[in-house]
Amino acid sequence: MPAPPPSPETAARQRWMSVLARASADAIAARLAHAPALPESTLLRGPESGLVMLRGRAGGGGSPFNLGEMSVTRCTVRNAQGFVGHAYVQGRDQHQARLAAELDAALQDPARHDALEQGVIAPLATAQQAAREEAAAKAAATRVQFFTMATMRTS
């Protein structure tokens, strides 16, 4: 039985965490330079790096198998307003994990949410979408159209 859909608040948080997990620390810091200052925060965990095991399934539905390991960095903070932010990012960039956790906590605050959404998350999401479209256009340029010679025959 499939899991029920997430609540609107959970879906919004999943979206902004997805954007932050894919953005580099430099990109996040550049957007934060033009956004309201984040509140002071206290580290609860990390940032710390480790490995996670990636699992796959043959054909998308077959038996699961261990695909390999990937390094991740996690961080948890509590800001001055009491909001707790978590972040898991690919790789070993502890600065990225800390910024993502601080933003996660700040975005949960209704007083800061809209300004940070418009000043940080939306521009990062737009840049990521543009990069995906550029990569798709490059891939499409190398696509080969196969056809059979039977359709080109003249009787």
Confidence of residue 60 (pLDDT cuts 50, 70, 90): confident
Q: For the chain, which residues make up each domain, given as ranges?
A: 8-114
pLDDT digits (tens, 9 = 90+) for 87-102: 999 999 999 999 999 9
Model pLDDT for residues 113-122, shown as the tens digit of each residue: 999 999 999 9
Angstrom CA distances, 107 to 4, 13, 18, 60, 81, stand at 24, 8, 13, 35, 11
> How far is Cα 13 from Cα 128, in angstroms, rounded to an integer?
17
CA quadruple 107, 88, 91, 47: dihedral positive or negative? Answer: positive
pLDDT at 155 over 70: no
Does pTM top 0.85 for this prediction?
A: no
For residues 108 and 74, is the Cβ–Cβ distance under 8 A?
no
CA distance 137 to 30: 27
The Cβ of residue 97 has, within 10 Å, a number of other Cβ atoms equal to 29
